[in-house]
Amino acid sequence: MILITGGAFQGKKAYAMKTFSLEESAAADGRSCSWEEIFKTRGIFYFHEYIRRSLEEGRELKTLAEDLARQNPEAVIVVNELGSGVVPVDVFDRRYRETTGRICCELAKKACEVHRVVCGIGMVIKHD
């Protein structure tokens, strides 16, 4: 599994597509894909939005990182880093931010590579 993270609008998706020869049609869009789709696709864009939707639907996410690593170990996952900046006032937004961070920490532990993208430039921060 490969995890690509960084701030919003930093070029993560373009970096993932170029670096890993990932076609947009071969990736799930976290803003709209089904629960099942993330376990079968080669890439997942907007993974943070997938987490938000899942929380809004009341889905239990405690084993999401483990399930994803086990069922789709070749996935390239692209996610916004949400932990910087002002802590949200809204309870749901704080829970979403914390849940996303915790899931990404677990994914990073399980990933063979973790990349951070800033201004379109990728830096490998983990490589097993």
Mean pLDDT of 28-56: 97
- pLDDT (tens digit, 9 = 90+) per residue, 91-111? 999 999 999 999 999 999 999
Mean pLDDT of 68-78: 97
Q: Which domains does the chain have, with CATH numbers?
A: 2-127 (3.40.50.300)
The whole-angstrom separation of Cα 76 and Cα 4 is: 7
Evaluate if pTM is beyond 0.85.
yes
Locate the DSSP E strands across the chain.
Answer: 2-6, 27-29, 43-45, 76-80, 113-118, 121-127
Percentage of the residues of the chain whose pLDDT score is greater than 90: 95
Tokens read off for 101: 């961070």
Instruction: Report whether 30 contacts 46 (CB < 8 A).
Output: yes
Mean pLDDT of 76-86: 93
What single letter denotes the amino acid at residue 98?
E
What pLDDT, on the 0 to 100 scale, is given for residue 50?
A: 98
Mean of all residue pLDDT scores within the chain: 96
* Interstrand relation of 27-29 and 43-45 (parallel, antiparallel or unpaired): parallel
| Three-class SS state of 98 | helix
The whole-angstrom separation of Cα 124 and Cα 116 is: 6
